[in-house]
Structures are given as C-alpha cells and as structure tokens.
Amino acid sequence: MTTLTAPLSIERIAKSRISEVDFQHLEFGKFIADHMAIASYANDRWGEPKIVPYGDLQMSPAMLALHYGQAIFEGMKAFKMNDGSINIFRPHKHYERLRKSLDRMCMPDIPEDMFIQSLHTLIHLDRAWVPDSEGSSLYIRPVVFASESRLGVKVSDQYLFIIMNTPVGAYLNKPYRLKVEDIYVRTAEGGTGFAKCAGNYGGAFYPTQLAKQQGYDQVLWTDHKDHQYIDEVGMMNVMLMIEGKLVTPKLNSAILDGVTRDSILILAKEMGIETVERRISVDELADGLKSGKITEMFGAGTAAVVAPIALINIHGKDIQIPVAGAQSFQQKVKQKLLGIRMGVLPDVHGWNYIIK
C-alpha cells in the first residue's frame, strides 16, 4: 500500500543530530530522530497536525495526565526494504488498537487520515534515520495524553498527540527466563489490560523488578482471580506449540491484542498449522513442558518480533524449555514475517505501508 506524502506544515530542524548516532551499536530508545509530529485538542476538536523539530515540551505541573493517568501510546516499526523503500508495518491495525485505548481512557478519537498523514510525513522526512543493517528498524512511538492544567478529578478537555521515532538495532536473540506471577496482578478483566495505557506499565514495574532480582527477565502474568490461567508476558503475548498446534491465550479485556500475535496466527494457518485460542492453565503449562507435549514456547511482540523462552519458573521450580532450532515453527514464522516486511516475500494481506 502506497500513498503520497501528506501536505502537513513542516518546520525543519536547523541541524540534524544524526551524526551523533552510532548505527552499528543502537540502544533501544537512546536516540530520538530529528522531528516529531504534534497536534493539540481543545474546544472539542483536533487542530491541524504539524511536523516540528524534536524537543522538550512546556507543561504545567497541574497537567491532568500527571495526576490522573490519562495517557496512552502505541509501538510500531518502519523498515528499510531491499529496494530502498521504507515500509511501515500494519499502521492501520495499530490505529485500530490506538482507538480502543483512547475510548477506554475517555480520550477523544483521532481521525484515521490525521494519524496516517502525520505518520507518513514524519517518516518520509526522517527517512535517513531508518537503519538498514539486518534486523534493525525504526521504532515509532505515537502517544496521546491529557494536557489540561487543572487539579480537579475530571476527564480532560485538552490533549496532545505526538509521534516520535528512534532507530533500534537487531533484537539480541537471548532466550528469556520467565517467572509465573502468582501474587501480583498487572490488570484484571474489566480493567485496562487490553489498552496500551501508561498505568499498566507503571504498575507492572515492582513485581518485574522482584523477578529480576531473582534472576528472571520478565514475569508471565496470570488471571487476577486465582492465578490459575496465563495471560501474557510484560512486553509481549505468549504462544505455545502443543502437539503440533499453535496455542495462545484467548483475548479478553486483560490481554493486549498484539499486532505481531495477530500476524503470526494468520501466517500459521497459511503454513498449515492449526491455531487455537483458549485458556491455558498454569498446571497445563507445567505438565505439558514436563511431558514433552509442549515443544515450543515463545513471545510475540513489536520490539522482539519472536522471542524464544528458555526457562520458566512455576511455583518456585525452574523448568527448562526445548531450544528452538532452525526448523522450529517460531524460527520459520519469524523468517516469513521478516521476508514480507523486507519485500522478499509477497505481501498478500496488504500489511506493508510503503513510502517510496
């Protein structure tokens, strides 16, 4: 899918900071690209978005987002394709999820054309920031937050919408060590788990830090009632190969609808793999790993794409997970997904938004 550059107002940076970036040693989020898209909401309408040099914002200490948590974001990626074009992967799917997050947090809807035009213009302007080394990409962060200055507990009447970008290197394919969380709760059904709101992540830091102190990388969250069923990992959905079937927890209001998760489920069916979305109990996970019924376990998310899991701690006991070889499903689907993004394989689903 290709569209022309949108006619947004552009204020170019006086001097690019790209020379400060070591593209051979990229740290996630360390360097922000030269420009950002920005639009403000007031008087029941969004103003015209514009592109300005990336920089600090002037904000009031009484800004409502700081006090009552009206803040949501998205995470997506752009890739340098083999022919030199830039591909923003599944922006319309990300937009759908952004709208759900906005609605859940009582924030104003953003028109789709405004979102896509802002995204297109910004990435086109900062196209030199899209790295071209294998496995690298430009991580894109749209964010919306309440900007009204007022201390009363209320839904804000003013908001800022911003898109910024950061070049990121290839994900270091170090398998994860997870701990099944059976005390703390990230979110609950009926809550905000399905939305990418800032509070979900802030509330998850403490139990994640405890797990890291014990030698684990992340926690595998479980249901809020009895901690009997698995939900997701802190930064990605979780997927299992059980007796030749791809199985993943069924979505509910406590689980984020991952774009990578959705892509993998679609590709799996095309690869002849049966897919199942259902509840998975902690006991089934433990028994399946011990018996060998579960042959693969991996995470799926925008940052890591496909992240192998090497070990999981269940009720205080570490269980090793089989190493995923080159012929494993997770490695095959990762390569297929990469091939579509880079233009090597046909994009039959129209996932690639291409900027020539």
For residue 235, give the DSSP letter: T
- Are 156 and 183 within one domain? no
* Burial letters 324-356, b for 16+ CB under 10 A, else e: beeebbbbbbbebbbebbbbeeeeeeebbbebe
Domain-ending residue, one of 144, 170, 196 = 170
Q: Is the pLDDT of residue 5 over 80?
A: no
- Are 150 and 197 within one domain? no
Q: Would you say residue 334 lies in a domain? A: no
Q: Would you say residue 74 lies in a domain? A: yes
Rounded mean pLDDT of 248-271? Answer: 97
- Are 158 and 194 within one domain? no
- Are 218 and 93 within one domain? no
Q: How confident is the model over 274-284, as pLDDT tens digits?
A: 999 999 999 99
Q: Would you say residue 354 lies in a domain? A: no
Rounded mean pLDDT of 154-180? Answer: 92
Rounded mean pLDDT of 84-89? Answer: 96
Domain-ending residue, one of 145, 170, 195 = 170
Measure the N-to-C terminal CA separation of the chain; round to a whole number of Å. 10
Q: Total structural domains in the chain?
A: 2
- Are 263 and 197 within one domain? yes
Q: How confident is the model over 200-212, as pLDDT tens digits?
A: 999 999 999 999 9
pTM (2 d.p.): 0.94
CATH number at residue 139: 3.30.470.10
Q: Would you say residue 286 lies in a domain? A: yes
pLDDT at 3: 42
Q: Would you say residue 4 lies in a domain? A: no
CATH number at residue 216: 3.20.10.10
Q: Is the pLDDT of residue 298 over 50?
A: yes
Q: Is the pLDDT of residue 345 over 70?
A: yes
pLDDT at 130: 97
Q: Would you say residue 351 lies in a domain? A: no
Q: State the amino acid at position 267 in one-letter form.
A: L
- Are 191 and 320 within one domain? yes
Q: Residue 123: enclosing H or E segment and its boundaries?
A: helix 112-125
- Are 136 and 212 within one domain? no
pLDDT at 171: 73
Q: Would you say residue 352 lies in a domain? A: no
Rounded mean pLDDT of 239-260? Answer: 96
Rounded mean pLDDT of 147-156? Answer: 96
Rounded mean pLDDT of 9-35? Answer: 93
Q: State the amino acid at position 279 in one-letter form.
A: R
Rounded mean pLDDT of 26-40? Answer: 94
* Burial (CB count within 10 angstroms: exposed 0-12, middle 13-18, buried 19+), residue 52: middle
Confidence band (pLDDT; 50, 70, 90) for 172? low
Q: How confident is the model over 41-74, as pLDDT tens digits?
A: 999 999 999 999 999 999 999 999 999 999 999 9
3-class state of residue 155 by DSSP: coil
88 vs 5: CA distance, rounded Å: 13
Confidence band (pLDDT; 50, 70, 90) for 2? very low
Q: 219, 178 in Cβ contact below 8 A?
A: yes
- Are 68 and 152 within one domain? yes
- State percent of the chain over pLDDT 90: 90
Rounded mean pLDDT of 338-345? Answer: 94
Handedness of CA 235, 236, 237, 238 (dihedral sign): negative
- Are 87 and 203 within one domain? no
Confidence band (pLDDT; 50, 70, 90) for 27? confident
Confidence band (pLDDT; 50, 70, 90) for 173? low
- Are 135 and 250 within one domain? no
Q: 165, 138 in Cβ contact below 8 A?
A: yes
Q: 298, 309 in Cβ contact below 8 A?
A: yes
328 vs 330: CA distance, rounded Å: 6
Of 297, 296, 301, residue with least CA distance to 337: 301
Q: Would you say residue 208 lies in a domain? A: yes
Domain-ending residue, one of 130, 152, 170 = 170
- Are 206 and 73 within one domain? no
For residue 137, give the DSSP letter: E
Q: What are the E-state strand segments in the chain?
A: 9-10, 35-42, 45-46, 50-53, 71-73, 76-80, 86-89, 137-146, 159-168, 176-180, 218-222, 230-233, 237-242, 245-249, 275-278, 294-301, 305-314, 317-320, 352-355
Q: Residue 64: enclosing H or E segment and its boundaries?
A: helix 64-68
Structural domain containing residue 48: 9-170
Q: Is the pLDDT of residue 29 over 90?
A: no
Q: What is the pLDDT of the chain when averaged over all its residues?
A: 94
- Are 211 and 316 within one domain? yes
